[in-house]
Chains A and B, each alone.
Chain A
Amino acid sequence: MFKKSAEKSYNWLDDRFKITPLVEFMRHKQVPIHKHSLWYYMGGVALFLFLVQIVSGILLLLYYQPGVDSAYESIRFITTKVSFGWLFRSVHSWSANIMVFFVFVHMFSTFFTRTYSKPRELTWLTGSVLLVLSLVFGFSGYLLPWNELAFFATKVGTDIAGAIPLIGDPIKLLLRGGEGVTGATLSRFYAFHIALIPAVFTLFLFLHLLFVQRQGMHEPEFFHKLPENKKRMMPFFPNFVLRDALLWLLVLNIIIYLAVFFPWEIGVKADAFAPAPDGIKPEWFFMFMFQALKLLPAHMFIMEGEVFGILFFTLAGLVWFTVPFWDVFIKESMRPKIMKLFGISVIAFILILTIWGYLV
């Protein structure tokens, strides 16, 4: 019975939209099976977490009220008075952080397998945009509860943006919506967080996924060299999708576990006139940059240490995100080794500075 009606509606749709080729395409899309297959799931997890963010974010929107004397109160209200509000708030916060983590993992996995090279340059580039957007997502969301730590972290964060030569001041003004971090900043960050960034993010995500589907899964070099009969493959649908679902379920459960047992803290309401408290910390994914800027001497070469740091990170970011376009100039035989070394040093740099940042 159920099967029949499902079939019927499928036929009805197929009649109009010709979806059979699409399903065929998915069925024929093959995912290589090898010892590094696990990494193929990372992007999917990031995607799933983005969906979790949308759902939990929309739910929070129902009760959240931006504004200097309502933001903090409304978050408190959500966690204490709205049933299961605590759950969705904690899920949103945990999942946001875990999403950033998986985006990083996903990026490094595509880097080390050198998936980014031709023909996938644009996939890499759209992914880069998505990473930056995720970070900005986190940065803008961090301020929304209007608590002390977030308030001062935002102050410091926007100050850093303001130190950029020439364009720094206008950027700072634009971000803050005024001279200082005030209610105007909160309104802006709210708009960025729930309208601007989600829209742009969705656009780039669409392109990113479109490219992936069009080009199929990347096969690593050693896989290329295997004889045709030794290449093990699995169909994208349903095999790979079901495995995806399995992992997503697990991840969601972990997030709910974290939300129940380690509810996200609310902190102390921000007071613009209070002195900055000890231990202002950016979010963990900005820690390495924050720490690096802190370690730089006041003056370097002809500029301030901070300016040097910002220029360095901008340049480093550019180098990193344009990797598909310059790695072709390295001799083919040397390429795997050099790129591996490069990637490992980047990870080591990030890890060491992050840990350092938390230790002091």
Chain B
Amino acid sequence: MDKKLSIKLFVFFCSCLSIILFATTVQSQEKAKYGEDDQCIVCHKDEEILPEDFSEFDIHLQTGLSCKGCHGGDETSDDEDLSMSSEAGFIGVPEKIEIAAMCGKCHSDINFMRQYQPRIATDQVQQYHESVHGKKLAQGDTKVADCTSCHSVHNILPAIDARSTIYALNIPATCKKCHSDKEYMAEYGIPTTQYDEYVESVHGVALLERQDTGAPACNDCHGNHGAMPPGIASIGHICGTCHVNNQEYFSKSKMAIEFQRDELHACEECHGDHDVKKTSDDMIGDSDSSTCVDCHEEGEEAYDTGIKIRQSLGGLVTAYDSAATLLKTVEHAGMDDLEMSYAVKDAKQSLTQARTLVHTFDFEQVKVKTDEGKTFVTQALKLGNTQMQDLRFRRLGFGIATFFMTIVLVALYFKIKDIERED
């Protein structure tokens, strides 16, 4: 019995020990993974001929896919004649046309990729062939982007890594490398001003200045691997992924039908594409910055609708401003602004909604909201004015106190005079 127990214990300890040993060797193996036993890196490092963009953080290098994975050769030999011989399968720099297929060897194979990320997409190569880049490459144009143009060659990092060329904040700069180069793009006859326009746009400012990664970069509208200019039909849907209501209102409006008929781009026609600016109420109506007048002329019914919508928005804005001003006054006077601030907030909300409703191009619908907003403003003004009346009431109280004080003061003065006369 005792013996059995001790044997059991012995076995237990041994297995514990071996697990620990195994774990540590695995760890040390992992540590050794990069560099030491890869003769490609050893020599190229010694000779200082590592690729310019070489990075030890490269995700492939980190997970064990080293030079050989793409270039072939024998990484165990330190004799360059052997290691970089065609017998060893060395291919040198891969042809551009082969690159997508080369990445696809692994990246299109879900059974392989699953080991690293169960949910990873494996349709990148397929999409690439459908993209403008991919199609042109198939036609023999080697100036277009391949995988490495965006992902880099020897410094590939996942999209969530802030150092990556495809991290949301870095994407515009990555596309810009080619698309803002006038000379490079000359033969394609497409503009090269997209980046400059984008950085000034609401989206560019939000992404690049405020670092709001929710804001769209190039790929959010053009797609990643299947990059293409969006077609007429899809523009509304693209903007609509975020601007849901605007898209919904628009698609149900009379305007949408006409747009389709005349092959006009939804959203873009008024807001622009890369250079989307912060909107203003003057985009509607008949002012200089109005976009309605681009198509509609005086005398048309639509023209008048534009003016009416503009006026009802303007009316609410003026009313809202007066309420906001009064709110400041009330606050500044140290009066109770709580109830009023709720009413002002409601008015603001109506205004926001009315502005969204502009996309119905239906004056009646906008008016319902602006009217609602105006009732909130009226309510706010009433509350504010009551507070200010209270303030005036305080002045009345002050007047009463002062009145008595004056009487006491005057009487006291004469009293003192009296006393002093007696002395």
Residue of A nearest to B334 (CB): A263
Which residues of chain A (230-245) have a CB below 8 Å from chain B?
234-235, 238-239, 242-243, 245
Would you call A246 and B413 a contact (CB within 8 A)? yes
Answer whether A246 and B335 are a contact pair too, CB < 8 Å, given A239-B420, A253-B402, A256-B401.
no
- A249, B394: Cβ atoms under 8 Å? no
- Whether A80 contacts B338 by the Cβ 8 Å rule is yes
Using CB atoms, name the residue of chain A closest to B395.
Answer: A260
Flag if B334 contacts A266 (CB, 8 Å): yes
A79 at the binding interface (Cβ < 8 Å): yes
**B412 A242 Cβ-Cβ under 8 A:** yes
Name B408's closest neighbour in chain A (CB-CB).
Answer: A249
Q: Which residues of A contact B412 (CB under 8 A)?
A: 242, 245-246, 249
Which residues does chain B contribute within 8 Å of A266, judged by CB atoms?
334
In the assembled complex, the Cα of A114 lies from the Cα of B278 at a distance in Å of 70
Q: Is B409 an interface residue (CB 8 A)?
A: yes
Q: How many A-B residue pairs have CB under 8 A?
A: 57
Give A245 to B405 CA distance when docked, in angstroms: 11
**Residues B253-308 near A (CB distance < 8 A):** none
In Å, the complex CA distance between A13 and B335 comes to 49
Q: How large is the interface on B (under 10, 10 to 19, 20 to 34, 35 or more residues)?
A: 20 to 34
Given A257-B398, A261-B395, A246:B334 Cβ within 8 A: no
Residue B415 CB within 8 A of the other chain: yes
Contact string against B for A residues 205-244, beta-carbon threshold 8 Å, 1 for contact and 0 otherwise: 0000000000000000000000000000011001100110
- Flag B384-404 by CB within 8 Å of A: 1 or 0 each: 000000000011011001100
Q: In whole angstroms, how far apart are the Cα atoms of A250 and B336 in the complex? A: 30
Complex Cα distance, B413 from A249, in Å, reads 12
* C-alpha spacing A251/B242, complex, angstroms: 63
Q: Which residue of B lies closest to A242 (CB)?
A: B416
Of chain B, the residue at the smallest CB distance from A257 is B398
Complex alpha-carbon distance, A238 and B337, angstroms: 49
In angstroms, Cα B420 to Cα A86, docked, is: 41
Q: Does A340 contact B (CB under 8 A)?
A: no
Complex Cα gap A79–B336 (Å): 8
Contact across chains for A264 and B409 when beta carbons are under 8 A apart: no
Pick from A249, A256, A265: contact of B334, CB under 8 Å:
A265
Q: Let me know if A256 and B336 touch, CB within 8 A.
A: no
Q: Are B409 and A86 in contact (CB under 8 A)?
A: no
Contact A249 B336 (CB under 8 A): no
What is the distance, in angstroms, from A82's C-beta to the closest C-beta of chain B? 11
Residues of A within 8 A of B415 (CB): 242
Give the CA-CA distance A80 to B337 in the complex, in Å. 8
- Give CA–CA (A78, B121) in the complex, Å: 61
Complex: how many Å from CA A234 to CA B332? 48
Asked if A253 contacts B416 (CB within 8 A), the reply is: no
Contacts of A263 in B (CB 8 A): 333-334
Residues of A within 8 A of B394 (CB): 86-87, 260
For the complex of A and B, the 7 pairs showing the least CB-CB separation, nearest first, are: A80-B336, A263-B334, A260-B398, A79-B334, A253-B405, A246-B412, A242-B416
Q: Which residues of B contact A (CB under 8 A)?
A: 332-338, 394-395, 397-398, 401-402, 405, 408-409, 412-413, 415-416, 419-420, 423
Chosen A-B contacts, 17 in total, with CB atoms closer than 8 Å, are A79-B334, A80-B335, A80-B338, A81-B336, A234-B420, A239-B423, A242-B419, A246-B413, A250-B405, A252-B405, A253-B405, A256-B398, A256-B402, A260-B394, A260-B395, A261-B398, A263-B333
